[in-house]
Amino acid sequence: MAATLLTAATIGRTHGLEGYLKVYSLSGEYDHLMRLKECVIAGRDGKERSALVESARSQGNLLLMRFKGYDTPEKARVLSGSDLLIRRSDAPELEEGEVYVADLYGLTVMHGGTAVGEVVDTSEGAQALLLHIRREGRIYLVPYLPVFISHPDLEKGTIELMMPELLG
């Protein structure tokens, strides 16, 4: 099932005296964030809160955002280190062959027609995204590269492992 909310950015430190925060896009695209009116902020404490975007502007290579109710540096500082989540409909359109990382979670990992694991998490690797695949209670890290893993079949909820020796 497709995630309703997607993590689109991380929120950095405050900037200036009006409660602006530095925002860093995870996709490298910023246009969709500039048009954003509302979002969900997932704090470091694990709590999610709805937020209205009062203002978004670029300053040099920075994206600065201010959220309603956080109009001073002191108030805005509590949002630093949080993730900014957006509705799928507010996310940039995908190019052919692209998928959202959120859609990889929960996929059944297949090899030769047999289920061999499940994607339970991801992390950034040196050369590629790493899929955390759970098999028999253990977690294995597999690079999300065509030599190791196929393009996911989101309708079936599966992804094919090309090299089963990577799972022990």
**Residue in the structure block whose two tokens are 């492992």:** 161
H, E, C per residue of 122-145 = EEECCCCEEEEEEECCEEEEEECC
Q: Over 50: is that where the pLDDT of 149 sits? A: yes
| Model pLDDT, residue 1 | 47
Give the domain ranges of the chain.
Answer: 5-90, 103-163
Single pTM value for the model: 0.75
**Lowest mean pLDDT: which of 18-27, 96-105, 113-122, 134-143?**
96-105
CATH superfamily of 5-90: RimM (2.40.30.60)
Instruction: Name the β-bridge partners of 67.
Output: 53
103-163: CATH architecture: Roll (2.30)
The pLDDT of residue 127 is 87
Residues 6+ apart with CB under 8 A from 123: 129, 130, 132, 141
Q: 23 forms bridges with which residues in the sheet?
A: 11, 63
Per-residue CA distances from 81 to 4, 9, 65, 76, 95 (Å)? 22, 10, 14, 11, 29
Express each pLDDT in 78-112 by its tens digit: 999 999 999 998 888 888 888 888 899 999 999 99
pLDDT tens profile 15-73: 999 999 999 998 888 999 999 999 999 998 889 999 999 999 998 888 999 999 999 99
CATH fold match for the domains 5-90 and 103-163: no
